[in-house]
Amino acid sequence: MLEVQNATKRFGGLVAVNRASLKVAAGSITGLIGPNGAGKTTLFTLISGFERPTEGRVLFQGQDISRDEPHIRARHGIARTFQIVQPFAGLSVVENIAVGAHLRHAKRADAMARAEAVGHRVGLGPELGKSAASLTVAGRKRLELARALATEPKLLLLDEVLAGLNPSEIRDIIPVIHAIRDEGVTILMIEHVMQAVMNLCEQVYVLAQGLIIAEGPPTEVCDNPLVVEAYLGVGAAERLKRGSVHA
Amino acid sequence: MTFRDIVPIIILVAFLALVPVFITANTVLNFLVFTLIVALAAQGWNILGGFGGQFSFGHAAFFGTGAYAAALLQARLGINPWTAFAIGSAAGGAVGWVIGYLSFRSGLRGSYFALVTLAFAEVLRILANAATFTGGAAGVLIKLDVRPENFQFESRGAFFWIALALVGAVLVLTRWIERSRFGAQLVAVRENEAAAKALGVDTLRVKLGAITLSGAVTAAAGCLYAQYFLYVDANIAYGTWISVEAILAPIIGGLGTVLGPLVGAVALHGLGEITKLAAGSVPGIDLMVFGALLVVAVAFAPDGILGLLRRLRRPIRSSGVSGHA
Amino acid sequence: MYSPAIIAEAVVNGLMTGAVYALIALGLTLVYGVLHIINFAHGALLTAAMFAVWSVYVVFGLDPYLAILPLTPLFFGLGYALQRFVIGPASHGSDSNILLVTLGLSIAVENALLAGFRSDTRTLNTDYGFQVVEIGPLLLSKPRLIGFGAAVLVTVLLWLLLSRTDTGKAIRAVAKEKLGASLVGINVAHVYAVTFGLGCACLAVAACLLMPTFYVNPRIGQAFVLVAFTIVVLGGMGSIPGALFGGLFIGVVESLCGLFLGDSLGQIGIFLIFILVLLVRPTGLFGAKA
């Protein structure tokens, strides 16, 4: 479905993403993990079109979309959420979602109906008439998800939708993500909550300092010494094996 | 948009249309026509500034283009004024598109956009003031020839109705915007441009659509002005006064609402007249009050007069009335 | 066509006007650099300062150059109070509100001056107003030469204030990162007001330097403020050297455009530069990438 080929993004002298390649199979939930500042969100901006790669290509359903504007990619069927939630603060929750729904529905009545349905599905039913500015953090994360979903995407890019949620909120939202995939939406997610990554993802890519350093099923990737060192520092894998790291 | 959406507008316009039947004093009708012209210019600003969140400080560029087009097409080329009116409005839209294309494509927003629109209006003012085609500083006179087919009328009442019809038409247009996909996308751009893009909104196209419509509506007000006063010069047509009034009325009335610009224009000009009555004919006193009012409105009534009314109404009707205006 | 001497004189005259423009732009760019707002009331406040200079001359017979001493602190105080008690609280921290509040202020101040002084154009009749200095082949207006020197001096002083004093450090800290500055105990509202006050103080000095050779009427600020915006945008929003060089450059451009295009079209060169810079490089020639 999605293929990133040797994508590089430089900001001046800083190489944020360095020849990263990844593939997301249709119908899968794929994870993108890595320590802070690894370039995960930058890679997302390359896929969603907010930045263009300095080098390399982004293919979607076999088509090169590297140069397309974000709204064109949305039309192709790529939707993203933002790590820092970006609600339309002056609008109600359902109107927020309707902006997404308008992508495929020109008539207001159709878009509103679609928005309500999506809102209920992600558990925002009771909140639909409220102002988006009045939502809690968990509510705003759901709103991000609902808006993206309302565009009826083929590929959904989730940028840390679980960050900032408490364990019970995370437990509530995981089945929602599963259900979205089961309806045929492919998902690529950036996530720090490892419990969720283990639970949701079939395939995981690990990004560290702009480079993809490992890929595979989540359990395998977590045992990879390169990955452990990327998170905990050089030599950490050794020490872990010897059992000398406490806590 | 359904018929039910515009019923309140039809009732309001019909009610206002009765005014010249009861009031025939020329000074009052003059005041009302001028207020309606400002309201129309402000309605144009509101489409871009209120719904789209792009604050132009140079709507005089559109108003002046309309006014000059209407006057010059008649005076220099002998074109029928009704046709000139249509061409003038279209020219305003075209100027809007060009300014929008240049500034939005360069990613200008906020204060930068306000500045660049201001500069475009100033450039047009200086050009109109210097060129011989526009009559230079002496301006353009439209020949007095009172015939309806010539867009000139015996009674001021007729002009009032035409101005009202235009304001009414833009009320319906704005109501349509509010209920359409274009409007939803425009408001999304105002609230958060990045998020709108991610949801598939072609933000450049939406903003261009808004500034084109906005320019055409404000230019129509300019055409009307030229036709009513039969005279145009650079400081009237491209003067900062109209840019300022076009901003003030929607903010005082209710930013991004259908009725806001009309309510604001009536309130402002009513207040202006009262101030003049109270303070005598001191120049600038009414504008001084307007300026202070703008500060007070931003500080205490960010949703304008309509917002204040809604707040007053809420305790009585507690069920969530969510529709604007 | 034009002899080199005429062109040279136009350039030098442009530089002298440009220095005062720079001073006006300095106030604007300082406020922008720290508060990140465009102060649309800047022109109206300049007009107010010019009327203040005119008034103290007519009423007390105070020389415009001496008027710098009382008017600078007065306008500092005025600016401080405006930001602290009007602009800050009224705008609730939103940028578009600040835009509107300063616009409202500018309309109110300008028209209050119109109501108070009427629309007549007024000048000062000092005995040195028309004195000239001969430098080589050029005849230069003495008060404008003084204006040039003083404007450059004030720019240097302001730069020293910002780079050498504690207040300057606090201002720069707030400009860079206001949350961080407030966390280390800097009173951000106070620093904002001080900055705004400094901007207004620049206007008072500029008004004193302008009045011996210029005139004042209630609308005069508009002409200056658009030029000042151009300079600020050209020099890079928030850059002090940018304001100085931008001011000098614009002064020369205006002078040469006036020479070649005539007075009525002379200003158009400025606006075209303004629009071009905004469209092509809104960060200016000296400004950092936003």
Report the complex ipTM.
0.89
Decide if domain A2-77+153-242 falls under CATH 3.40.50.300. Answer: yes
Contact A79 B198 (CB under 8 A): yes
Written as one letter, the residue type at C10 is A
Residue B137, min C-alpha distance to chain A (Å): 46
Q: Is the pLDDT of residue C289 over 50?
A: no
Residue with the larger pLDDT of the pair A92 and C178: A92
Alpha helices in chain A (DSSP H): 40-48, 70-76, 93-101, 108-121, 137-150, 167-182, 194-200, 218-223, 225-232, 236-242
In total, how many domains does chain C have? 1
Q: Is the pLDDT of residue B309 over 60?
A: yes
Query: In the block, which residue shows the tokens 């595979």?
Result: A216
Q: pLDDT digits over A24-55, tens only?
A: 999 999 999 988 888 899 999 999 999 999 99
Query: Rounded to an integer, what distance in angstroms lies between the CA atom of residue B234 and that of residue C160?
Result: 44
Interchain proximity A99–B202, CB inside 8 Å: no
- Which residues does chain A have within 8 Å of residue B191's beta carbon, measured at their own beta carbons? 87-91
**What average pLDDT does this structure show over C57-61?**
91
| pLDDT recorded at residue C282 | 66
Domain parsing of chain A, residue ranges:
2-77+153-242, 86-151
Given A79, A80, A88, which is nearest B191 (Cβ)?
A: A88
The C-alpha atoms of residue C50 and residue C42 are separated, in whole angstroms, by 12
Q: What is residue C82's DSSP assignment?
A: I
What six digits make up the tokens of B265? 């224009």
Asked whether the beta carbons of A45 and A51 are under 8 A apart, the reply is yes
pLDDT at B106: 87
Token digits for B200? 């598939």
Q: Do A129 and B187 touch (CB under 8 A)?
A: no
Examine the pLDDT at B322 and tell me if it is beyond 70: no
| Pairing between β-strand A29-33 and β-strand A63-64 as defined by DSSP bridges | unpaired
pLDDT at B144 over 90: no
What one-character DSSP code corresponds to residue B137? Answer: G
Residue at C201 is within a domain: yes
DSSP alpha helix (H) spans, C165-219: 166-176, 178-183, 188-210
Q: Does the CB of C90 have a partner CB in chain B at under 8 Å?
A: yes
| CA–CA dist A38, A32 (Å, integer) | 11
Residues B92-108 pLDDT 10s: 999 999 999 999 998 88
CA distance, residue B238 to nearest chain C CA (Å): 14
Pick A75's closest partner by Cβ from B190, B194, B200. Answer: B200
Inter-chain touch B198–A95, beta carbons under 8 Å: no
Handedness of CA A147, A153, A159, A163 (dihedral sign): positive
The answer to the question of residue C287 being in a domain is: no
Residue C280 predicted with pLDDT over 90: no
Min mean pLDDT across A19-33, B30-44, B272-286 is at: B272-286
Write down the pLDDT at residue B178. Answer: 93
C-alpha span between C23 and C1 (Å, rounded): 34
Residues in chain C: 290
Q: Which of B102, B103, B116 to mutate to test the interface with C (most CBs of C within 10 A)?
A: B116
Q: CB burial class (10 A; 0-12, 13-18, 19+) of residue B19? A: middle
Q: Please indicate whether, in this complex, the C-beta atoms of A87 and B192 are within 8 angstroms of each other.
A: yes
Residue type for position C105: L
List chain B residues with CB under 8 Å of A51: none
Residue A67 to residue B21: CA distance in whole angstroms: 62
d(CA C30, CA C36): 9
Quote the tokens at residue B267. 């309130």
Contacts of B191 in chain C (CB under 8 A): none
**Contact B242/C at CB under 8 A:** no
CB contact under 8 A, C37 and B111: yes
pLDDT > 80? residue B325: no
State the angle between helix axes of A137-150 and A93-101 in degrees (0 to 180), rounded to the nearest 10: 30
C8 in any annotated domain: no
**Each residue's pLDDT tens digit, C8-37:** 888 888 899 899 899 999 999 999 888 887
- Across the interface, whether the CB atoms of B126 and C267 are under 8 A apart is answered yes
- Residues C102-137 pLDDT 10s: 999 999 999 999 998 988 888 888 888 788 888 777
CB pairs under 8 A between B and C: 138
C11 burial via Cβ count (<10 Å: 0-12, 13-18, 19+): middle
What pLDDT was estimated at residue C60?
A: 92
At B257-266, the pLDDT tens digits run 999 999 999 9
Instruction: For residues B119 and C229, give the distance between their C-alpha atoms in angstroms, rounded to a whole number.
Output: 10
pLDDT computed for residue B319 by the predictor? 39
B271 touches chain C (CB under 8 A): no
Contact C99 B55 (CB under 8 A): yes
The set of residues, in sequence order, having a beta carbon less than 8 Å from that of B11 and lying 6+ positions away, is none
**Residue C288: band (very low, low, confident or very high) from pLDDT cuts 50, 70, 90:** very low
What mean pLDDT do residues B272-298 have? 87
From first CA to last CA, the distance across chain C in angstroms is: 44
- What is the tens place of the pLDDT at every residue in A119-171? 999 989 999 999 999 999 889 999 999 999 999 999 999 999 888 888 888 88
Phi, psi of B254 (to 5 degrees): 155, 105
Phi first, then psi, for residue C10 (nearest 5°) are: -60, -40
Q: Does B192 touch chain A (CB under 8 A)?
A: yes
Q: Cβ of A199: how many Cβ atoms within 10 Å?
A: 15
Interface partners of chain C (CB pairs < 8 Å, 3 or more) are: B
Predicted TM-score (pTM) of this structure? 0.89
pLDDT value at position B315? 56
Q: How far apart are CA B133 and CA A115, in angstroms?
A: 55
Rg (CA), chain B: 19
Which tokens sit at C14?
């442009």
Nearest chain B residue to C93 by CA: give it: B299
